Structure 1
Amino acid sequence: MPDSKGHGRSSSRRDEIIDACLDVICEFGVANTTHRKVAEVAGVALGSITYHFKDLNELIVTAFERFVADNIRWCEENFAGVDSFESATAALLRVFSVSDHTIILSAELYARALHSPEVAAVFSHWLAEYNRIYSTYFDDATSRMIDALWLGLVLNRNSSTHEHPEILTAQALERIVLPTSYIESQQ
């Protein structure tokens, strides 16, 4: 899973601030994210943040945009070369096998989207792009079920006191993603 550390980008002060914001959100949650915490994690002066971003909301939205863009690119990379039902389901398993960092940021994005139209637009874009990728390989109903499973796992892994074994994800996908849902001609 991407770590949203600006893969493929030259590092700039602005990028470092965005990366630090994602780390702060992951550790403290959006509600407890402050300019001061982000500056400390980024190792920059507080004024650097206000120079690059008009306010904390703009920084948070930009950080979530980065997170989503990195996730979409990562999902596309996992589906590159898929040419059969078996390789498509293997790609899904890779997409669903994400770090705790990604799970936490996904849940924070979801929660913030409920109260922020700007973040809701970012979240909707993410869902639409993942659905576009899934729909290349699976029928519409299955693609929607895959999305629902992903959201359910994000919330479950964040709220459960029990470990979430990868085998559970594999079993859920096996029950939802049937060979008849695979679309033969992708390109």
Structure 2
Amino acid sequence: MATQAERTAATKSALMKAALTIAAAEGIKNVTHRKVSMSAKVSVGTTSYHYQNLDSLLLDAFNQYIDESRDRYEHGVSSARTPGELADALIEMVNRHHSNTLEAILMYELYAQAGRDPRYRALVQRWSRATKTAVEHLYSAELATQLEAVVEGVLFQRLLGDSSLSDRQFRDLLLVILGQESTRPQQAG
């Protein structure tokens, strides 16, 4: 039998998942306690018991989303040892992210909210630091920033769907960028 703490964690997890699903499908502004409770299959009272306001629910949900996204990203790029392996890992990550349209939209909902609210901006900055740090085992922080900009641009192009680089074109571009400096561990200092 589950403990009270385990039940609370499971309920909060279901509420966060529901909030993110609604945010992706309808936009952050359309997330309500009622919609979250219906999606999570709990009472509105349960929703408001665990989260007095939607801001705290959405912040918790986006924090969890960033942590899960970071873990997937780091797992994908951390094993890369050559420019080709890193390019392939980034392409795979973009394709995986793009194959889930709601998840791709959710990332841009987070970015849009970050433009309005410094708490969300801190989440985006945390995501950005994590993506760059994952690449810095091979390349400089400057190059990691360039890669982040290109990957984000390709994700956005693919989300909109009217024009984007093919995987081959994307890989060629990544290899050009990665060829700007040699593969080397970063010096401590």
In structure 2, relative to structure 1, the CA distance for the partners of 1:24 and 1:62 (3 Å cut) is same
In structure 2, relative to structure 1, the CA distance for the partners of 1:175 and 1:71 (3 Å cut) is same
What is the CA distance between 1:123 and its match in structure 2? Answer: 0.8
Larger CA deviation: 48-57 vs 81-90: 81-90
Task: Name the counterpart of 2:124.
Answer: 123
- Higher Cα Rg, which structure: 2
The normalised TM-score by structure 1 is 0.83
Q: Distance in 1 between matches of 2:166 and 2:37?
A: 36
Task: Name the counterpart of 1:3.
Answer: none
Structure that is richer in helix per residue: 2
The 8 Å contact of residues 103 and 157 in structure 1, kept in 2 or not, is answered as: no
Q: Distance in 1 between matches of 2:165 and 2:123?
A: 27
Instruction: Give structure 1 regions of 4+ aligned residues with deviation exceeding 3 angstroms.
Output: 157-169
Unaligned runs of 5+ in 2: 1-5
Task: Name the counterpart of 1:95.
Answer: 93
Unaligned runs of 5+ in 1: 1-8
Q: Distance in 1 between matches of 2:164 and 2:149?
A: 20
Q: Distance in 1 between matches of 2:47 and 2:166?
A: 39
Helix, strand or coil at the partner of 2:80: coil
Task: Name the counterpart of 1:75.
Answer: 73
Q: Distance in 2 between matches of 1:132 and 1:88?
A: 13
In structure 2, relative to structure 1, the CA distance for the partners of 1:103 and 1:133 (3 Å cut) is same
The 8 Å contact of residues 84 and 184 in structure 1, kept in 2 or not, is answered as: no
In structure 2, relative to structure 1, the CA distance for the partners of 1:79 and 1:163 (3 Å cut) is closer
Helix, strand or coil at the partner of 2:20: helix
Q: Distance in 1 between matches of 2:113 and 2:168?
A: 30
What is the CA distance between 1:12 and its match in structure 2? Answer: 0.4
What is the CA distance between 1:176 and its match in structure 2? Answer: 2.2
What is the CA distance between 1:159 and its match in structure 2? Answer: 3.6
In structure 2, relative to structure 1, the CA distance for the partners of 1:168 and 1:67 (3 Å cut) is farther
Q: Distance in 1 between matches of 2:84 and 2:171?
A: 13
Larger CA deviation: 148-157 vs 126-135: 148-157
Q: What code does the residue aligned with 2:181 have?
A: T
Helix, strand or coil at the partner of 2:116: coil
What is the CA distance between 1:184 and its match in structure 2? Answer: 4.9
Where do 1:100-115 residues align within 5 Å? 100-115=101-116
> Matched residues, percent identical?
21
Q: Distance in 1 between matches of 2:122 and 2:142?
A: 23
The normalised TM-score by structure 2 is 0.82
Encode CA deviations 1:145-183: one digit per residue, 9 max, x unaligned.
111113323433344445774444334323322273432
Where do 1:1-187 residues align within 5 Å? 12-97=10-95, 98=97, 99-162=100-163, 165-178=166-179, 180-184=181-185
